[in-house]
Structure 1
Amino acid sequence: MKKIKEYYRKIKFYLKTFLSEPVNKILLIIFGGLALTVYIIYLIEVNKNPEIKSFFDSIWWFFITVTTVGYGDIVPKTVMGKVISIIIILIGVVLVSILSGTVASILVELRLKERKGLGKVNFSGHVTILGWNQHLERVIKSLGEFAGKNFNIVIVNDMTETEFEELKYKFIDIKLKFIKGDFTKENVLKRANIKNCKYVILLADTYNDKSMDKCDEKTLLSIINIRALNRNTKIYAEVVKEKKAKVVLNAGADDVVINGELNHVFLGSLIYSPSYPKLFKELLNSKIKLESIPKNFIGENFNSLFQFYKEKQGKLIIGILRIKKGLTIDDLLSNDSAIDKFIKNKFEEADENFFEDTKEEYEVIINLKDDYVITKKDTSCFVID
């Protein structure tokens, strides 16, 4: 008995809520009137029209008439039935137009809401990036490089519609979706479908001159709200102050990176494997030295140099430093033609070093092949002691 009363109370509540809208009242009157029309046609035609033998036949007549399709027409035989049919046809034209316009406007409105970031995420297993700073674009790029492009990225921050469209254009091959709002708020996180999110990347939200002091507090509050909605998602956070790292980890983050130049690499690689940042940190903490390449190895292949350092000195070569020669006047002009000689002499007479002050450029080459030939430009090598 209690259950029946509870159901009755719920039905009454929903009906009251539904009828509180004027549009819903009008729709109810229209559909009630149409249902009454179907019943009247059945009563009028059932014994006088061999085509209407049941109530279902009158329903079939109604839908064919109101949509003005005309397929499988059931034609009324009585005068009253024909009059009602004319009215229904006229009403049908108006109703179909209204319904088509309404559906179109709803679809356009949904599309506009999506572009403005006011929609919601319906898919699952996605990567969500919360916050906005100078690392955002590079994080997205790193995600594409480490994890491929067959996944969805949801971006949650306060950027404008135009800024997101520009961002989306830069990463046209990656599936991006935008949710606008304060990512510390639970309702914004729900729109981003954090409940079914696989990974969360929290950037220090410093864009548009936001306070650096409040970034870590905002990150901390976001993690607490995320964990309230999803206990299983992986959270990787960027913090501005190193002393806040432990607090953020205790709040529920799986890993933390300190704000810096290589953050996009660390954060992007974490999605693919949590071991990547550990590898990078080990490399950065290793005793990497820059040593001159012995002159007797010029003209030899890289494998010979690699084996020399490994076997004789117990060191591992991870790369080579090459010096790019600066552009000089001799590179542009030759002594083969009179005009080149004339221009060269004029530069010399001017007593100005237009090209000699050009700074040398450096190039780091890693993962060299064994048959790579060492040249004079390859001056040094990076070794791990």
Structure 2
Amino acid sequence: MKTSSLLASFLRWPILPRILLIIFSVNLLFGALIHLLEPTNYPTFFDGVWWAFVTTSTVGFGDFVPSSITGRLIGILLILIGTGFVTTYFVTLATTAVTNQNAYLEGKSSYQGNKHVIIVGWNERAKQTISQLLAIQPPIDIILIDETLKQNPAPSNHTHFIKGNPTTDDVLLKANAETAESILITSDQNRDEHQADMSTILTLIAVKGINPNIYSVVEILTANQVTNAKRAGADEVIQTNKLSSYVMINSIISHGMSEALLIMLDQLKGSKLKYLPTSNDLTGKTFGECSRILQTMSILLIGVKKGEETLVNPSLNLTIEPQDELLVIKD
């Protein structure tokens, strides 16, 4: 009963460890046999094992050769049995490596890390976001989820592709959403605006169900779905159409403004625009005073976040309080 249990346990092992164990066992057995049969030609047990491994690998150094008929018959048997297992092992090893590589490229393999960023949807915005995130030091692991791509569009040491529907648990678990630090859900441009927003909100609900603490940034196209996105747990909502309309309006009123805005935004790529907590030496000072102090450190102060409200270019006399956050541009 115990023997059958051990055999059943062995058969459940992955194929590579099983074949490797069989190879070692066969070589040890035949090494012991040849040592016992021809102690003159094989003075030690290790000499016999060395001969067995050299024979099964078809190297054949010729430093140990059986002289008896029995010894040679054992050698023939070892070649027939051992070489077959060795060949099978290397073929299986190569097949496994190719299969794993294909699974990685095709988005079928799971991600095992943590504190990563998940990006849902492949489009030009996602492409630019991934490119800029990869430029940040230290590097951030990025997991891209998309159901339309055939393989990873941006392969690197820090990008992992998962193919599938991001609203399903099995896909999110493959992306290890349970331990992810943040997620960006981009809008599906292949759907109309209303359906795209519904899909975005459904994805957000699915992610929050697995990881309620994940920091979520979602792209919403229609203004009437912003509230629903926040109800679903979005930490930040990016209204793409609203941002685009602002650029268009400024370009109509002030010609050439779109190019100026793009140049300005390009200078902010990466992590240059950020919120800083108010330090003790800045508490109680005015916005103008803080601005002058920060400029000496090559930091440009452009606004203040008070609670949920962000004030951009406020009055120079605005007093900075301990709980405020400073909106700055910092290289």
- TM class, shorter-chain normalised? 0.5 to 0.7
Q: Give the structure 2 partner of residue 190 of structure 1.
A: 173
Structure 1 pair 262–143 and aligned structure 2 pair: CA distance change class (3 A): farther
Q: Give the structure 1 partner of residue 322 of structure 2.
A: none
Q: Give the structure 1 partner of residue 220 of structure 2.
A: 239
Q: Give the structure 2 partner of residue 225 of structure 1.
A: 206
Name which of 189, 193, 197 aligns with 1:207: 189
Preserved contact between residue 27 and residue 53 of structure 2 (Cα < 8 Å): no
Q: Which runs of 5+ in 1 are unaligned?
A: 288-309, 315-366, 368-385
Q: Give the structure 2 partner of residue 88 of structure 1.
A: 78
Preserved contact between residue 127 and residue 153 of structure 1 (Cα < 8 Å): yes
Preserved contact between residue 149 and residue 175 of structure 1 (Cα < 8 Å): no
Q: Give the structure 1 partner of residue 29 of structure 2.
A: 39
Please list, as runs of the form range in 1=range in 2, the aligned pairs for 1:1-385 lying within 5 A after superposition: 14=9, 35=25, 38-39=28-29, 42-43=32-33, 45-46=35-36, 48-50=38-40, 51-54=42-45, 58-70=48-60, 73-133=63-123, 135-141=125-131, 143=133, 147=136, 150-161=139-150, 165=153, 168=154, 175-204=158-187, 206-208=188-190, 210-260=191-241, 262=243, 273=274
Counterpart of 1:156 in structure 2: which amino acid? I
**Cα offset for 1:192?**
1.9
RMSD of aligned C-alpha atoms? 4.8
Preserved contact between residue 30 and residue 78 of structure 2 (Cα < 8 Å): no
For 1:68 and 1:109, locate their aligned partners in 2 and report how far apart those are by CA, in whole Å.
27
Counterpart of 1:102 in structure 2: which amino acid? T
For 2:179 and 2:273, locate their aligned partners in 1 and report how far apart those are by CA, in whole Å.
18
Structure with larger Rg: 1
Structure 1 pair 127–36 and aligned structure 2 pair: CA distance change class (3 A): closer
**Cα offset for 1:180?**
1.4
For 1:207 and 1:236, locate their aligned partners in 2 and report how far apart those are by CA, in whole Å.
17
Aligned partner of residue 110 in structure 2, secondary structure: coil
* Percentage of identical aligned residues: 23
Preserved contact between residue 42 and residue 52 of structure 1 (Cα < 8 Å): no
Structure 1 pair 48–139 and aligned structure 2 pair: CA distance change class (3 A): closer
Aligned partner of residue 161 in structure 1, secondary structure: coil
For 1:180 and 1:274, locate their aligned partners in 2 and report how far apart those are by CA, in whole Å.
34
Preserved contact between residue 219 and residue 239 of structure 2 (Cα < 8 Å): yes
Alignment deviations for residues 288-332 of structure 1 (CA, whole Å, 9 cap, x no partner) = xxxxxxxxxxxxxxxxxxxxxx9xxx9xxxxxxxxxxxxxxxxxx
Preserved contact between residue 134 and residue 207 of structure 1 (Cα < 8 Å): no
For 2:229 and 2:6, locate their aligned partners in 1 and report how far apart those are by CA, in whole Å.
46
Structure 1 pair 47–84 and aligned structure 2 pair: CA distance change class (3 A): closer
Preserved contact between residue 183 and residue 216 of structure 2 (Cα < 8 Å): yes
Alignment deviations for residues 343-371 of structure 1 (CA, whole Å, 9 cap, x no partner) = xxxxxxxxxxxxxxxxxxxxxxxx9xxxx
Counterpart of 1:158 in structure 2: which amino acid? E
**Cα offset for 1:49?**
0.7
**Cα offset for 1:129?**
0.6
**Cα offset for 1:85?**
1.3
Structure 1 pair 10–79 and aligned structure 2 pair: CA distance change class (3 A): closer
Structure 1 pair 97–40 and aligned structure 2 pair: CA distance change class (3 A): closer
Output the TM-score relative to the length of structure 2: 0.59
For 2:88 and 2:81, locate their aligned partners in 1 and report how far apart those are by CA, in whole Å.
11
Aligned partner of residue 117 in structure 1, secondary structure: coil
For 2:234 and 2:221, locate their aligned partners in 1 and report how far apart those are by CA, in whole Å.
15
Counterpart of 1:207 in structure 2: which amino acid? Q
For 2:227 and 2:4, locate their aligned partners in 1 and report how far apart those are by CA, in whole Å.
51
**Cα offset for 1:182?**
0.5
**Cα offset for 1:215?**
3.0
Output the TM-score relative to the length of structure 1: 0.52
Aligned partner of residue 179 in structure 1, secondary structure: strand
Q: How many residues align?
A: 265
Alignment deviations for residues 94-121 of structure 1 (CA, whole Å, 9 cap, x no partner) = 4444433332233223222332222332
Alignment deviations for residues 247-292 of structure 1 (CA, whole Å, 9 cap, x no partner) = 4334333222223264897xx878974689987x9578x79xxxxx
Alignment deviations for residues 181-206 of structure 1 (CA, whole Å, 9 cap, x no partner) = 111111111222323322211112x2
Preserved contact between residue 46 and residue 53 of structure 1 (Cα < 8 Å): no
For 1:132 and 1:222, locate their aligned partners in 2 and report how far apart those are by CA, in whole Å.
15
Q: Which runs of 5+ in 2 are unaligned?
A: 245-261, 277-301, 318-328
Structure 1 pair 272–178 and aligned structure 2 pair: CA distance change class (3 A): farther
For 1:245 and 1:9, locate their aligned partners in 2 and report how far apart those are by CA, in whole Å.
62
